[in-house]
Amino acid sequence: MILALFGPPGSGKGTQAKALIQALGIPQLSTGDMLREAIKSGSELGKKAKEIMDLGRLVPDQVMIGMIQNRIQAPDCQKGFMLDGFPRTVAQAEALDAMLAGSGLKLDSVVSFEVNRKELVARLSGRLVCSNCGASYHEQSKLPRKQGICDLCGGVVAKRADDKPEVVENRLDTFLASTKPVAEYYQSKGRLKVIQAEGTESQVFERILKAIGGAPKG
Ligand code: AMP
Protein backbone atom coordinates (compact mmCIF):
# COMPACT_ATOMS: atom_id res chain seq x y z
CA MET A 1 0.00 0.00 0.00
CA ILE A 2 1.29 3.46 -0.90
CA LEU A 3 -0.23 6.20 1.19
CA ALA A 4 0.35 9.92 1.74
CA LEU A 5 -0.68 11.82 4.86
CA PHE A 6 -1.62 15.34 3.92
CA GLY A 7 -2.47 18.32 6.07
CA PRO A 8 -1.24 21.54 7.65
CA PRO A 9 1.57 21.54 10.22
CA GLY A 10 0.13 20.55 13.58
CA SER A 11 -2.72 18.50 12.14
CA GLY A 12 -1.36 15.31 13.74
CA LYS A 13 0.20 13.59 10.71
CA GLY A 14 3.37 12.62 12.57
CA THR A 15 1.48 11.24 15.59
CA GLN A 16 -0.89 9.20 13.42
CA ALA A 17 1.98 8.02 11.21
CA LYS A 18 3.62 6.40 14.25
CA ALA A 19 0.42 4.39 14.95
CA LEU A 20 -0.21 3.60 11.29
CA ILE A 21 3.22 2.11 10.57
CA GLN A 22 2.50 -0.47 13.30
CA ALA A 23 -0.95 -1.27 11.92
CA LEU A 24 0.04 -1.34 8.24
CA GLY A 25 3.58 -2.72 8.44
CA ILE A 26 5.03 -0.12 6.07
CA PRO A 27 7.70 2.55 6.79
CA GLN A 28 7.00 6.22 7.42
CA LEU A 29 8.84 8.56 5.05
CA SER A 30 8.80 11.97 6.74
CA THR A 31 10.54 14.62 4.66
CA GLY A 32 10.62 16.95 7.69
CA ASP A 33 12.46 14.25 9.70
CA MET A 34 14.87 13.65 6.79
CA LEU A 35 15.68 17.37 6.66
CA ARG A 36 16.15 17.54 10.45
CA GLU A 37 18.57 14.58 10.16
CA ALA A 38 20.48 16.47 7.44
CA ILE A 39 20.69 19.51 9.76
CA LYS A 40 22.00 17.33 12.63
CA SER A 41 24.64 15.80 10.36
CA GLY A 42 25.95 19.28 9.49
CA SER A 43 25.82 18.58 5.71
CA GLU A 44 25.64 21.36 3.08
CA LEU A 45 22.03 20.37 2.38
CA GLY A 46 21.27 20.60 6.09
CA LYS A 47 22.73 24.10 6.34
CA LYS A 48 20.69 25.38 3.39
CA ALA A 49 17.53 23.61 4.57
CA LYS A 50 17.82 25.08 8.08
CA GLU A 51 17.75 28.66 6.79
CA ILE A 52 14.56 27.94 4.83
CA MET A 53 12.88 25.92 7.57
CA ASP A 54 13.59 28.59 10.20
CA LEU A 55 11.56 30.99 8.08
CA GLY A 56 8.67 28.54 7.66
CA ARG A 57 9.17 28.36 3.88
CA LEU A 58 9.49 25.35 1.57
CA VAL A 59 12.74 23.67 0.56
CA PRO A 60 13.04 23.68 -3.30
CA ASP A 61 11.06 21.03 -5.16
CA GLN A 62 14.07 19.49 -6.93
CA VAL A 63 15.80 18.83 -3.59
CA MET A 64 12.71 17.21 -2.08
CA ILE A 65 11.88 15.17 -5.18
CA GLY A 66 15.45 13.82 -5.34
CA MET A 67 15.32 12.94 -1.66
CA ILE A 68 12.09 10.93 -2.01
CA GLN A 69 13.19 9.30 -5.25
CA ASN A 70 16.27 7.89 -3.48
CA ARG A 71 14.39 6.87 -0.36
CA ILE A 72 11.64 4.86 -2.09
CA GLN A 73 14.24 2.67 -3.79
CA ALA A 74 15.37 1.28 -0.42
CA PRO A 75 14.44 -2.38 0.26
CA ASP A 76 12.08 -1.50 3.15
CA CYS A 77 9.81 0.32 0.65
CA GLN A 78 9.20 -2.80 -1.47
CA LYS A 79 5.86 -3.59 0.22
CA GLY A 80 4.72 0.02 0.19
CA PHE A 81 5.31 3.14 2.27
CA MET A 82 3.61 6.06 3.92
CA LEU A 83 4.61 9.60 2.95
CA ASP A 84 4.37 12.23 5.67
CA GLY A 85 4.95 15.85 4.62
CA PHE A 86 5.41 15.05 0.92
CA PRO A 87 4.14 16.10 -1.60
CA ARG A 88 3.72 19.72 -0.52
CA THR A 89 3.45 21.34 -3.96
CA VAL A 90 1.69 20.36 -7.18
CA ALA A 91 5.13 19.99 -8.85
CA GLN A 92 6.09 17.44 -6.16
CA ALA A 93 2.75 15.61 -6.62
CA GLU A 94 3.25 15.40 -10.38
CA ALA A 95 6.86 14.22 -9.98
CA LEU A 96 5.74 11.55 -7.49
CA ASP A 97 3.07 10.24 -9.88
CA ALA A 98 5.64 10.12 -12.68
CA MET A 99 8.28 8.28 -10.61
CA LEU A 100 5.74 5.73 -9.33
CA ALA A 101 4.27 5.20 -12.81
CA GLY A 102 7.81 4.50 -14.04
CA SER A 103 7.85 1.44 -11.72
CA GLY A 104 4.25 0.43 -12.51
CA LEU A 105 3.07 1.74 -9.12
CA LYS A 106 0.56 4.33 -7.96
CA LEU A 107 -0.32 6.25 -4.83
CA ASP A 108 -3.39 4.47 -3.41
CA SER A 109 -4.77 7.13 -1.09
CA VAL A 110 -4.04 10.62 0.14
CA VAL A 111 -5.48 11.13 3.61
CA SER A 112 -6.22 14.81 4.16
CA PHE A 113 -6.30 15.96 7.82
CA GLU A 114 -8.80 18.77 8.51
CA VAL A 115 -8.22 20.97 11.61
CA ASN A 116 -9.26 24.62 12.07
CA ARG A 117 -6.51 27.27 12.15
CA LYS A 118 -7.09 28.40 15.76
CA GLU A 119 -6.62 24.82 16.97
CA LEU A 120 -3.48 24.40 14.80
CA VAL A 121 -1.84 27.52 16.27
CA ALA A 122 -2.65 26.31 19.82
CA ARG A 123 -1.25 22.83 19.08
CA LEU A 124 1.97 24.07 17.43
CA SER A 125 2.83 26.85 19.82
CA GLY A 126 2.67 24.46 22.81
CA ARG A 127 4.19 21.48 21.02
CA LEU A 128 7.23 19.65 22.45
CA VAL A 129 8.97 16.99 20.37
CA CYS A 130 11.43 14.22 21.20
CA SER A 131 14.60 14.98 19.24
CA ASN A 132 15.39 11.27 19.12
CA CYS A 133 12.17 9.39 18.20
CA GLY A 134 9.91 12.27 17.14
CA ALA A 135 7.17 11.56 19.73
CA SER A 136 4.97 14.61 20.28
CA TYR A 137 4.01 16.20 23.62
CA HIS A 138 2.27 19.44 24.59
CA GLU A 139 3.01 22.04 27.27
CA GLN A 140 -0.63 22.17 28.40
CA SER A 141 -2.25 18.88 27.54
CA LYS A 142 0.44 16.18 27.33
CA LEU A 143 3.64 16.70 29.30
CA PRO A 144 6.19 13.85 29.45
CA ARG A 145 6.22 12.06 32.84
CA LYS A 146 9.76 13.38 33.55
CA GLN A 147 10.33 16.98 32.51
CA GLY A 148 12.27 17.21 29.23
CA ILE A 149 12.65 13.42 28.85
CA CYS A 150 10.73 11.28 26.35
CA ASP A 151 8.45 8.62 27.94
CA LEU A 152 9.10 6.27 25.02
CA CYS A 153 12.85 6.41 24.39
CA GLY A 154 14.46 8.64 27.04
CA GLY A 155 15.47 11.22 24.36
CA VAL A 156 15.48 14.97 24.97
CA VAL A 157 12.04 16.60 24.65
CA ALA A 158 12.11 20.25 23.53
CA LYS A 159 10.39 22.86 21.38
CA ARG A 160 11.07 22.68 17.64
CA ALA A 161 12.85 25.80 16.29
CA ASP A 162 10.07 26.33 13.73
CA ASP A 163 7.26 26.13 16.32
CA LYS A 164 7.85 29.79 17.38
CA PRO A 165 4.61 31.80 17.01
CA GLU A 166 5.82 34.01 14.08
CA VAL A 167 7.20 30.98 12.19
CA VAL A 168 4.01 28.99 12.89
CA GLU A 169 1.94 31.69 11.16
CA ASN A 170 4.32 31.59 8.13
CA ARG A 171 4.11 27.81 7.93
CA LEU A 172 0.32 27.93 7.96
CA ASP A 173 0.30 30.64 5.24
CA THR A 174 2.74 28.54 3.17
CA PHE A 175 0.40 25.59 3.56
CA LEU A 176 -2.58 27.58 2.31
CA ALA A 177 -0.72 29.11 -0.64
CA SER A 178 1.44 26.22 -1.96
CA THR A 179 0.18 23.06 -0.40
CA LYS A 180 -3.63 23.39 -0.47
CA PRO A 181 -3.63 23.11 -4.32
CA VAL A 182 -2.15 19.62 -3.83
CA ALA A 183 -5.50 18.57 -2.28
CA GLU A 184 -7.31 19.82 -5.38
CA TYR A 185 -4.88 17.88 -7.57
CA TYR A 186 -5.67 14.60 -5.79
CA GLN A 187 -9.37 15.43 -5.47
CA SER A 188 -9.56 15.74 -9.25
CA LYS A 189 -7.98 12.29 -9.52
CA GLY A 190 -10.42 10.76 -7.00
CA ARG A 191 -7.71 9.78 -4.51
CA LEU A 192 -8.31 12.30 -1.70
CA LYS A 193 -9.83 10.92 1.55
CA VAL A 194 -10.75 13.82 3.83
CA ILE A 195 -10.89 13.06 7.56
CA GLN A 196 -11.84 15.24 10.52
CA ALA A 197 -8.58 15.36 12.54
CA GLU A 198 -9.93 16.94 15.75
CA GLY A 199 -10.75 14.60 18.66
CA THR A 200 -8.70 11.97 20.46
CA GLU A 201 -5.73 10.21 18.82
CA SER A 202 -7.64 6.93 18.72
CA GLN A 203 -10.76 8.51 17.19
CA VAL A 204 -8.66 10.04 14.40
CA PHE A 205 -6.80 6.73 13.92
CA GLU A 206 -10.11 4.85 13.46
CA ARG A 207 -11.30 7.45 10.93
CA ILE A 208 -8.09 7.00 8.91
CA LEU A 209 -8.35 3.19 8.89
CA LYS A 210 -11.97 3.46 7.73
CA ALA A 211 -11.03 5.99 5.01
CA ILE A 212 -8.29 3.76 3.56
CA GLY A 213 -10.41 0.62 3.74
CA GLY A 214 -8.82 -0.91 6.87
CA ALA A 215 -5.48 -2.53 7.68
CA PRO A 216 -4.39 -5.44 5.45
CA LYS A 217 -5.22 -8.87 6.99
CA GLY A 218 -2.53 -11.30 8.14
P1 AMP B 1 7.40 19.13 8.81
O2 AMP B 1 8.20 18.40 9.85
O3 AMP B 1 6.71 18.19 7.84
O4 AMP B 1 6.45 20.15 9.41
O5 AMP B 1 8.45 19.96 7.93
C6 AMP B 1 9.26 20.97 8.51
C7 AMP B 1 9.79 21.89 7.42
O8 AMP B 1 10.59 21.14 6.51
C9 AMP B 1 8.74 22.56 6.55
O10 AMP B 1 8.21 23.73 7.15
C11 AMP B 1 9.55 22.86 5.28
O12 AMP B 1 10.40 23.99 5.48
C13 AMP B 1 10.44 21.64 5.17
N14 AMP B 1 9.80 20.56 4.36
C15 AMP B 1 9.39 19.33 4.79
N16 AMP B 1 8.86 18.62 3.78
C17 AMP B 1 8.93 19.41 2.68
C18 AMP B 1 8.51 19.25 1.33
N19 AMP B 1 7.90 18.14 0.90
N20 AMP B 1 8.73 20.30 0.48
C21 AMP B 1 9.35 21.42 0.88
N22 AMP B 1 9.75 21.66 2.14
C23 AMP B 1 9.54 20.65 3.05
pLDDT in tens, 159-205: 998 998 889 999 999 998 888 899 999 999 999 999 999 999 999 99
pLDDT in tens, 46-102: 999 999 999 889 999 999 999 999 999 999 999 999 999 999 999 999 999 999 999
Whether 8 has a pLDDT exceeding 60, the answer reads yes
Q: What are the backbone dihedrals phi and psi of residue 126, each rounded to the nearest 5 degrees, phi first? A: -105, 5
Q: Count other C-beta atoms under 10 Å from residue 122's C-beta.
A: 15
pLDDT of residue 45: 93
pLDDT in tens, 128-166: 999 988 889 999 989 999 999 999 999 999 999 899 888
Q: Select which of 13, 36, 123, 207 is catalytic.
A: 13
Cα separation, 214 vs 81, whole angstroms: 15
DSSP 107: -
Known catalytic residue at 142: no
Q: Which ligand 1 atom is nearest residue 89's CA? A: 20
Interior angle at CA 71, CA 67 and CA 72, nearest 5? 120
Report which protein residue has its CA nearest ligand 1's atom 12: 53
Q: For the chain, give percent helix, strand, coil, nearest 5.
A: 50, 15, 35
Cα separation, 2 vs 26, whole angstroms: 9
Omega cis (within 30) before 60: no
In angstroms, what is the span from residue 217 Cα to ligand 1's centroid? 33
Q: Which ligand 1 atom is nearest residue 68's CA? A: 19
Known catalytic residue at 13: yes
Is pLDDT larger for residue 213 or for residue 94?
Answer: 94
Could you write out the DSSP letters of every residue in 5-47? Answer: EE--TTSSHHHHHHHHHHHH---EEEHHHHHHHHHHHT-HHHH
In angstroms, what is the span from residue 145 Cα to ligand 1's centroid? 29
